[in-house]
Amino acid sequence: MGRGYLIGCNNCVNDEDINNYWKEDIKRAGTIFYIHTGGVMMCFCKEQIEKIYGAFKKNKSENRLLAGGDPPDEFYKRIKSATGNNVIDKIIYEKINMGYEFTEILGDLPYYCENCKKIFTNFYFQMEKINELYLPNYECEKCDSILEPVYPLWDKSGGGTWADDLEKINFKYFIYYENGLIKMKSNINEVQLECDHCGNNNFSIMSCIFAD
């Protein structure tokens, strides 16, 4: 359902830091952090997010969501949120009442703070009504600035989480891996991540987990 990446500063992060992160979730802010790309647990298609927010009531489908059989509707009712954000959840319900519908483009993505030069993981999705499109705005945990979603192109080949739908997405930032280092570019030029501990901008993928 996605990939998880532990990214760290080459100057500061060592094997002990990595082991402590996985064992105890201990991290130095801006020195080592985890991002996830792709689907999230029990929400990796349009029909599932519709069930979580009750929109499936007007868009019921007889098709099964999962090959092994779907959980009962009561299961989805117990999942309070796909975003973990009360403000955005409120907007989702308002948009549903206004006739907006979720698109197929959804999943965890890295988000970039232009002020702090940090990346975070948030749940990306789209809702549309005729020619109007709603995208969620997440705030930085440190400075409250609006974060920019980042499109992962790890192999620089044009692939990624939603390669077939790339023409539908207007991303300002792209993240990729080159010569052992994490690189980010905007539509205009290269941008930098920044380590809070040493100020260095050399970050690498320290560990990668593939989730089925």
| CA-to-CA separations, 61 to 38, 56, 77, 97, in angstroms, rounded | 24, 8, 17, 19
Pairing state of beta strands 118-129 and 101-113?
antiparallel
Pairing state of beta strands 148-152 and 173-178?
parallel
* Segment 99-122 mean pLDDT: 88
Range of the domain at 60: 2-211
pLDDT > 80? residue 198: yes
Counting residues of the chain whose pLDDT is more than 90, the rounded percentage is 19
Rg (CA), the chain: 18
What's this model's pTM, rounded to 2 decimal places? Answer: 0.74
**Cross-strand partners of 111:** 120, 149
Condensed to tens digits (0 to 9), the pLDDT of residues 67-89 reads: 445 555 666 666 678 888 999 99
At residue 151, the pLDDT reads 83
Looking at per-residue confidence, does 37 or 182 come out higher?
A: 182
The Cβ of residue 41 has, within 10 Å, a number of other Cβ atoms equal to 11
Split into its structural domains, the chain has a count of 1
Looking at per-residue confidence, does 39 or 2 come out higher?
A: 2
Close Cβ partners of 78 (under 8 Å, ≥ 6 residues apart): none
pLDDT > 70? residue 211: no
- Give 190's pLDDT tier (boundaries 50, 70, 90): confident
Each residue of 142-160: b (16+ CB within 10 Å) or e? eeeeebbbbbbbbeeeeeb
* Segment 40-49 mean pLDDT: 67
Condensed to tens digits (0 to 9), the pLDDT of residues 140-189 reads: 988 999 999 988 876 444 444 444 444 445 688 888 877 778 888 886 67
Residues in the chain: 212
Looking at per-residue confidence, does 75 or 32 come out higher?
A: 32
At residue 91, the pLDDT reads 95
At residue 24, the pLDDT reads 62
In three-state form (DSSP H/G/I as H, E/B as E, the rest C), the secondary structure along 31-64 is CEEEEEEECECCECCHHHHHHHCCHHHCCCCCCC
pLDDT > 70? residue 26: no
